[in-house]
Structure 1
Amino acid sequence: MSSQKNKSTKKPIPKEVTELEAFLHAYEKLCTNTKTQVNPWIKDNAKLYIDRCEILTKIILDFSNVKSSPPVLFTVIIAALRQTRYKYIKHIYVWNYPMSYENIVVLANYMENPSYNTHTLHLMDCMLTPFYIERLSREIPSNKCLSEICLDYNDIGDLGCEYLAQSLQKNVAIKCLRLNFCGLSSKSGKFLHEIIVNSTISDLYVGGNDLQCSGILEMLQSCADQAVLETKQGETAESTKEDKKKTNNKKDKGKKSRKRNKSPLEPIIRVGPWIEKLDITDNGVDIHSLEGTAATLNCVRMITTLIMNSVCLKELDLTGNEIGNLASLMLLQAMEARITKSFPPMKLKSTAIIQMPGIYEPLVKISSGKGPKKKRKKIKKKK
């Protein structure tokens, strides 16, 4: 009787876990057939998730911690996924792996299949070229699941940025794009402007490039203009509401107040270019650069208009750019103006090289991204 009870109390193995076992078995078999190494992260984590009866939803391929011989082939992993039809991988992270054109084609074909819903794609330091980006970007317009792309430490240059701008025009799902240390010059400001205006990207990371003041001006001009327009529209809307309230109060004088059903608020629809998180660290916005102090001040002036008028801006990183004392003072004044308008708190990082007293410490305090502390009500103790 006890053995029958134990058999009945055993939980059935989920279908996803059996598919994970099939994927791991197929991957190890393909590795022995091709005389290649099994990726240790996949092997260890697949076994761990099988023991926990959980679904494996991500793959991390960090080839800096893998032995060079025998090699770990990226194509074998994708082949095992397609062979077993394991469709639960949503996040793919590939780091420090020399991707070939064959690898890019295999990855693009895998992402093209609608049954494999890839949400996150990181190809960091994979020796990608503009030619590879052109092939990968063909699958971006039709992909409705991909929400984040990271191409850090790949020398894709201005041409690769142009290919991305063309492909992102028709995509309505990607919200985060990381292009740190990708060899972008001031020419890419035009393409990044097209990405911001014509796509749904709200988080943009372009640190470690050489956009300079001219490239950043071209990239963010439409964002600043749209932010100013939205603040003006908001001010006019508030003034019309106040006028309506005054007229309604005059009409309702002498009449008995009646309870009215409040109409539901309409959802706010954002129109035009807008951005939430922006990283432009170490991009040559420097008073000692060839463009000079005037160009730096013009660039920072446009950034301050974005700070003062953009409600949706949450994070801005300017570290590594020696903007000088006057530009730092402009940032401080912009942050103070943002607080007076009672905008949401914003996190700002700037250069630490500020020689003028009374700027650095207030700027650090006001740029933490934390709102004002609410005062706790004192509870009176009963005597």
Structure 2
Amino acid sequence: MPRVKEGKGKAKGTPPPVVVSLQKFLKTYEKHCAHSRTSVCPAIWRDLKSSITSEQSLRRFTLLRPDESPPGHTPVSLEPLLVTIREEHYTAGKELCIWGLALSNPEIARLSWLLELTGRTPCPLTTLEIINCKMDTWSLGRLGKALQFSGLHSLVLDYCRFGNEEIERIFSGLENNKRLQGLSLRYCGLGPGSGPRLGLVISRSAVCKLHLDGNDLQCSGALALLRPLVEYAETQEKDLPATAVPNTGSLPPPQKGSSTLSQIAKSSQAVTNKKCLIEAGPWLVKLHLADNGIDGHGEEGSLLEFTQMLTRLIKHSAHVQEIDLGNNTLGEKAAADVLRALRARKTGRLPTLKITVTPRISSDTFRSILKNSKKSNTTYRKKKKVRSRMSVLVSSIHQGALYSAWTFPGVGGAIGCRFHT
């Protein structure tokens, strides 16, 4: 849990200011819980006590439903925490994580009001995680409006199931957002129709990390998402000799022995590192599409179209650094196309791309893709020896989902993964 260490109190025996502030915060929080007839969140209470003991400011508030509550026990509510943050002018809190709660309209209204006061509020949140929570259409619409004005850098809405109308409310608030960099919508029930809308969102915002694992975009939805990314990358490459990459200054003339694509890579890296907060456009650094039903079972030719779009992105995008397509059945032909695109990317001297694909292809193709993509400490470890043909490496319960990773002989490490809901 991230905290900021504070200085000690000057007078001997006098608690430092951070301790006094946290003690007062806890007392006010307990008072508002009692006033609203709701329970003090055990996780909040423990984190505050721990911060008081360590004399460090609490940066991350984690509000979650208790594992076991006796009959008649009052529920945990978000509103007392938000009221306390506002009343105590607590400026150190940057992250708010809400797990497994049914959020009411008044709670979302107060949260939205806090987000909209960015620049004037005493609690400038930069990270908001609402995971496995229930919200009605009105609440999602209110939250969507607040996102237009918030200073959030990261938004996580994993395991919140959305219908078409609900997700449209969120998408409308993300367009033209020049601050949000990370967006996670894992296991939210997104279908093929969300693909074009997602493409529009990333075209008009500064989002550079997009996590969509566990949805059902299928080939058509994923294709619609990739299309603006590819068009942007190819246009940028084509126009590079005549114009400069946006907001990076003019590029030097081509050096002997260097390629045009390598110059794009260097310039785009500067954009990624320095302009991520304000650079809007259809480009991504990380794209996770694991377990999205991307296979050959849809319309005839849809997998081929998706593969063609994907390989164009791999060949021409200097921005993209990570793509996760795990647990999608691409097939041997598509995998071979991906491998050729990775080799072309190397020839063009673009940054190395870390790509994850299903191991359900020939071992030679799979090993070659691993060899030509960036190695990941979490998915590929040479030192790990595997004895059995297929053994479960990791299995853990996380918010009602079972995650499993498998290892295969001669490859090493966990190379396949899946969430089972």
TM-score range, shorter chain: 0.7 to 0.9
Show the 5 A alignment for 1:165-204: 165-204=171-210
Please point out which of 320, 329, 334 is paired with 1:327: 334
Q: Quote the residue 1:291 is aligned against.
A: 299
Question: 1 or 2, which has the higher helix percentage?
Answer: 1
Q: Quote the residue 2:383 is aligned against.
A: none
Q: Quote the residue 1:97 is aligned against.
A: 101
Q: C-alpha distance in 2, partners of 1:234/1:171? A: 26
SS of residue in 1 equivalent to 2:109:
helix
Please point out which of 19, 22, 25 is paired with 2:24: 22
Q: Quote the residue 1:281 is aligned against.
A: 290
Q: C-alpha distance in 1, partners of 2:96/2:207? A: 19
Q: C-alpha distance in 2, partners of 1:282/1:274? A: 22
- Given that 1:129 and 1:155 are in contact with CA atoms closer than 8 Å, whether structure 2 keeps it comes out as no
Q: Percent identity?
A: 29
- Given that 2:185 and 2:211 are in contact with CA atoms closer than 8 Å, whether structure 1 keeps it comes out as yes
Give the deviation of 1:71 after TM superposition. 1.9
Question: 1 or 2, which has the higher strand percentage?
Answer: 2
Give the deviation of 1:290 after TM superposition. 2.8
Q: C-alpha distance in 1, partners of 2:172/2:35? A: 40
| Greater Cα shift, 126-135 or 186-195 | 126-135
Q: Quote the residue 1:368 is aligned against.
A: 374
Q: C-alpha distance in 2, partners of 1:340/1:97? A: 50
- Given that 1:128 and 1:156 are in contact with CA atoms closer than 8 Å, whether structure 2 keeps it comes out as no
SS of residue in 2 equivalent to 1:359:
helix
Tell me the alpha carbon deviations over residues 352-379 of structure 1, each in whole angstroms, 9 at most, x when there is no partner: 111x452011112322347xxxxxxxxx
Q: C-alpha distance in 2, partners of 1:302/1:11? A: 66
Give the deviation of 1:48 after TM superposition. 1.7
Give the deviation of 1:70 after TM superposition. 3.2
Q: Quote the residue 1:79 is aligned against.
A: 83
Q: Quote the residue 2:266 is aligned against.
A: none
- Given that 2:199 and 2:282 are in contact with CA atoms closer than 8 Å, whether structure 1 keeps it comes out as no
Are 2:127 and 1:127 equivalent residues in the alignment?
no
- Given that 1:280 and 1:317 are in contact with CA atoms closer than 8 Å, whether structure 2 keeps it comes out as yes
Give the deviation of 1:212 after TM superposition. 1.4
Give the deviation of 1:21 after TM superposition. 1.5
SS of residue in 2 equivalent to 1:278:
strand
Q: Quote the residue 2:401 is aligned against.
A: none
Matched to 1:168, the amino acid is: L
Show the 5 A alignment for 1:1-383: 10=12, 13-63=15-65, 65=67, 67=69, 69-113=73-117, 114-115=120-121, 116-143=123-150, 145-234=151-240, 240-241=253-254, 272-287=281-296, 289-292=297-300, 294-354=301-361, 356=362, 358-369=364-375
Which sections of structure 1, spanning at least 5 residues, go unmatched? Answer: 1-6, 244-266, 371-383
- Given that 1:207 and 1:281 are in contact with CA atoms closer than 8 Å, whether structure 2 keeps it comes out as yes
Give the deviation of 1:169 after TM superposition. 2.2
Question: Residues 323 and 368 (structure 1 numbering): CA distance in 2 closer, same or farther, change over 3 Å?
Answer: same
TM-score (ref. length: structure 1) = 0.81
Number of aligned residues: 338
Q: C-alpha distance in 1, partners of 2:86/2:336? A: 56
Q: C-alpha distance in 2, partners of 1:92/1:348? A: 31
SS of residue in 1 equivalent to 2:101:
coil
Question: Residues 235 and 35 (structure 1 numbering): CA distance in 2 closer, same or farther, change over 3 Å?
Answer: same
Question: Residues 321 and 130 (structure 1 numbering): CA distance in 2 closer, same or farther, change over 3 Å?
Answer: farther
SS of residue in 1 equivalent to 2:179:
coil
- Given that 1:282 and 1:318 are in contact with CA atoms closer than 8 Å, whether structure 2 keeps it comes out as yes
Give the deviation of 1:81 after TM superposition. 1.9
TM-score (ref. length: structure 2) = 0.74
SS of residue in 2 equivalent to 1:65:
coil
Matched to 1:366, the amino acid is: N
Matched to 2:126, the amino acid is: H
SS of residue in 1 equivalent to 2:97:
strand
Q: Which structure: larger Rg?
A: 1
Matched to 2:356, the amino acid is: K
| Structural RMSD (CA) | 2.6
Which sections of structure 2, spanning at least 5 residues, go unmatched? Answer: 1-8, 244-250, 257-269, 377-421
Matched to 2:95, the amino acid is: H
Q: C-alpha distance in 2, partners of 1:131/1:9? A: 52
